[in-house]
Structure 1
Amino acid sequence: MEINPVFARRLYLCWLISHSERPNVPRLMELTGWPRRTLQDVLKALPGLGVELQFVQQGVRNNDGFYQLENWGPLNKSWIHQHHQALFAAIE
């Protein structure tokens, strides 16, 4: 199975957000090893796929909080869960 790395990165990030505790940018950077800018670009691209992503504000500062996946849109959540390792491999 050959997966486009750009698309795989988006799907893998959806999986990570749904499986991580309080997934904010610093935490996601730690989990993925991706630069901040790459991570922010991928997060920004998710609504274009039909994914509903919400930032849950917690704390006083503007960026205190975490991301929450509200709706997977047209993406097959089960398929992504089953293939998250293949998605990760396609990114590297």
Structure 2
Amino acid sequence: MLNSVFARRLYLCWLINHNERPNVPKLMALTGWPRRTLQDVLKALPGMGVELSFIQQGVRNNDGYYHITHWGPLDPQWIASHCPQLLLAIDQSN
């Protein structure tokens, strides 16, 4: 069984890659996770080797969206094909 913390990180990468202009409010709506949880998972991604950038759009500092510029050791095809198992691991931890 997958570790739920690791599963959250992989699932968030998948969401960022498969949604148009994924920002914190949109990702909160998609996941149902609190803002703090989402921010913590985003903050942990570079520690896994994932390069994440924030594309600024608009005049406010938080106007924009996230984009994965490099997957590091992760395989996006593997993550996409295992999304049901990732969600199961996340759901079982709640």
Common fold by TM > 0.5: yes
Does residue 15 (structure 1) correspond to residue 14 (structure 2)? The answer is yes
Tell me the equivalent position of 1:39.
Answer: 38
Give me the whole-angstrom Cα distance separating, in 2, the residues matched to 1:33 and 1:60: 27
Tell me the equivalent position of 1:68.
Answer: 67
Give me the whole-angstrom Cα distance separating, in 2, the residues matched to 1:84 and 1:70: 21
Give me the whole-angstrom Cα distance separating, in 2, the residues matched to 1:20 and 1:88: 17
Flag structure 1 segments of 5+ consecutive residues without an equivalent: none
Deviation at 1:77, TM superposition (A): 1.4
Q: Which residue identity lines up with residue 3 of structure 1 in the other structure?
A: L
C-alpha distance after superposition, 1:38-76 (max 9, x if no partner) = 000000000000000000000000000000011110011
Q: Which residue identity lines up with residue 51 of structure 1 in the other structure?
A: V
Give me the whole-angstrom Cα distance separating, in 1, the residues matched to 2:63 and 2:86: 29
% identity of equivalent residues:
71
Q: Which residue identity lines up with residue 10 of structure 2 in the other structure?
A: L
Give me the whole-angstrom Cα distance separating, in 2, the residues matched to 1:23 and 1:78: 19
Give me the whole-angstrom Cα distance separating, in 1, the residues matched to 2:20 and 2:84: 19
Matched residue pairs, number? 91
Give me the whole-angstrom Cα distance separating, in 2, the residues matched to 1:63 and 1:87: 28
Tell me the equivalent position of 1:52.
Answer: 51
Give me the whole-angstrom Cα distance separating, in 1, the residues matched to 2:32 and 2:89: 15
Deviation at 1:12, TM superposition (A): 0.2
Does residue 27 (structure 1) correspond to residue 22 (structure 2)? The answer is no
Root-mean-square deviation (CA), in Å? 0.5
- Residue 69 of structure 2 aligns to a residue whose secondary structure is strand
